[in-house]
Chains A and B, each alone.
Chain A
Amino acid sequence: MARPRKPHPATALRRSFVTPEGVDLKIELSTAGARAGAFMLDLLMMLAILAVATIVIGATAIATESVLLGGLWLIGFFFLRNGWFALFEMGGRGATPGKRIIGLRVVARDGSRLTGGAVIARNAMREIEFFLPMTFFFSTIAESGTDKMISILALIWSGIFLFFPLFNRDRLRVGDLLAGTWVVQRAKVKLGQDIVASLAQSDQPRRTFSDHALSLYGEYELQTLEEVLRLADNDSLVTVAAAIRRKADLPDDGDDYGFLSDYYAALCARLERQMMVGLRRADKYSEASRERAA
């Protein structure tokens, strides 16, 4: 029978990431959109800082008639442009403020420490990926289009680099490619309530299910049911409960949530018992079988 289940699009960016202890942590790479968003946030912050600094330094320079402040501004601009990304990413969080807000972090692809050399390399490439073509583009616009060819070339050039992350499956920028880094999502998940345990604590009488009713589903359906119970969305509770009752020939007793959590607990116990003797059942299409050696 053909499997109707396709690989979920959300898992397309999951990569195995084996720690020195030999456990695969399965990290999640950042999407190109999230990276672009973080970059935009960083640019906006840099622009805001530049604008404020320019106004403050400019006003002071006019008041004191000092040329030295111009030098200060130049140095500040240089460090803002070249230091912002590199210095923040060299810090313990491995992320610029923009990346922190979006929830991203820069990581060495081989799982080792993120070195200064790698951070400098990935951010120096940003100069030719973004800043150089932008400078060309704006300077030719400022010169009222004297050299349209250069601005068109600059656009093509930056287009190649800007869309580069979309053309490789790891969403790498040219700088990432060269530095051996990638950008991962910094997920933070709360431990959900233990459905089975909370059920055991309540005093309500538990429903019991026949062997036929419990042999309908496998692990995949169990985990889908878990998601439905955790979300506790009324519509899906009704739909799922109705589907299970129909298949198992059970009467509707009006309490969908109670029915589903009891069914979950019973199915969970059954599948776990089978697992203990080495029988796993992936989903409703498959029979319980011995696990293949991984």
Chain B
Amino acid sequence: MVNATRFRAAHEADWERLDKIVTAIEKRGVRGVPEQALLVLPVLYRSTLSSLSVARETSLDKSLVAYLEQLCTRAYFQIYGVPTSPMRQLGHFFARSWPKAVQSLWKETLVAFILTAAGAIVAYLLVRNNPSWFYILFPDGMAQGRDPTASAQLLKSTIYDGGKDSQQSALAFFATFLFTHNAQISIFSFALGFAFCIPTAGLIVYNGLMLGALVEVFAAKGLAYGFIGWLMIHGTTELFAIMISGAAGFRIGLALAFPGRKSRADAAVAAGRSAATAMGGTVVMLAVAGLLEGIGRQTITSDTARYTIGIAMLLGWFLYFYWPRRDDGATA
């Protein structure tokens, strides 16, 4: 009898047991497997792993080595590769990974803020000097009549009477539309950062330009205070979210352009993972902004209440993101 046969006879039962447990986990997930089996899983995995090492050195049976290789790989992914339960992942995301990822992007977020503000100021000045700039910045139809030719009356009605002529359900639809639209923009500004930041910077500046142009239209009719309140109630959340996703894009572009001491691929991976975590969270922020915009903005018409809510939201996000946290070493 050759050695391989004796070796096989001695260990085959263990391998089969491991195979059974791993197959069950692959089919039904961790919860579909009895606890007893989960407890012996690492033990069986290690003994099979050592069987593999032995087989590679002493056995000439090719199918035996191939079998042990795939069995160990499958077991490895069940033991090391699988993330924790979705609920715990979600909890960890909101408690640590997301705010920490946003915190680490603070420089890029500041740049995104400066770009937005610069865009807004430039557009404001341009439109004030020559209103025809407005039509260049806003594609046809997007302003919905809120352009420099509109009367003060009409402009006033857009910021205070929005809720009167439309049903509540139409508002909800509008809010959903804005949410999905903005979330898609947020994903793009992350992904486009890949092209060395340039498209992302363009998106962020353009966002600022539209903001500034619109503010000027209302300011020219003496409605600046009311308009900014109308904007603030959801805008603080929404603009902050877009700046964060822009910052996420910048982080990737910078890592690719200036990888520093790491290799370019390693730098991209490190930046990509943390920036993606920050960006993923902005979808939640934009959902909140959508709710505020679709429902809150049209039903709350007092300027003071709008300013209060807008500023409170901003402060809330600031505290949540930048409140110093203990470093536990766990990152996403």
Contact = CB atoms under 8 A, between A and B. Distances in A.
Given A23-B49, A92-B29, A92-B83, A179 B76 contact: no
Interface in B1-40: 1-5, 8-9, 12, 15, 25-26, 29-30
A108 B169 CA distance: 44
A77 B60 CA distance: 54
B276 A128 contact: no
B69 A178 contact: no
Interface in A46-81: 66-68, 70-72, 74-75, 77-78
B180 A94 contact: no
B226 interface: no
B81 A117 contact: no
Interface in A99-128: 105, 107-109, 111-118, 120-121, 124-125, 127-128
Interface in B186-206: 187-188, 190-192, 194
A116 B188 contact: no
B242 interface: no
Contacts of B82: 92, 94, 113-114
B180 A226 contact: no
B69 A26 contact: yes
Contact of A196 (B1, B58, B176): B1
A74 B180 contact: yes
A118 B276 contact: yes
A191 B76 contact: no
Contacts of B280: 116-117, 120, 124
A265 B81 contact: no
Contacts of A230: 63
A149 interface: no
A101 to B, nearest CB: 14
Contacts of A67: 167, 169-170, 172-173
Interface in A130-158: 132
A117 B273 CA distance: 5
A226 B62 contact: yes
A72 B176 CA distance: 8
Main secondary structure of the interface of A (DSSP, over half): helix
Main secondary structure of the interface of B (DSSP, over half): helix
A116 B76 contact: no
B74 A186 contact: yes
A75 B70 contact: no
A19 B53 CA distance: 12
A108 B332 CA distance: 13
A117 B277 contact: yes
B2 A268 contact: yes
B252 A178 contact: yes
B176 to A, nearest CB: 4
Contacts of A117: 97, 101, 272-274, 276-277, 280, 332
Given A92-B82, A226-B62, A25 B76 contact: yes
Interface in B261-286: 265, 268-269, 272-277, 279-280, 283
Given A190-B67, A197-B1, A71 B76 contact: no
Contact of A71 (B25, B46, B177): B177
A158 B211 CA distance: 32
17 contacts: A25-B73, A67-B172, A78-B184, A111-B80, A112-B80, A116-B93, A116-B280, A116-B332, A124-B191, A127-B188, A188-B70, A190-B67, A200-B1, A226-B61, A226-B63, A268-B4, A268-B61
Given A177-B265, A271-B60, 17 more contacts: A71-B173, A71-B175, A75-B176, A78-B180, A90-B83, A94-B77, A105-B77, A107-B81, A111-B80, A114-B82, A124-B279, A174-B194, A178-B194, A190-B67, A194-B8, A196-B1, A196-B5
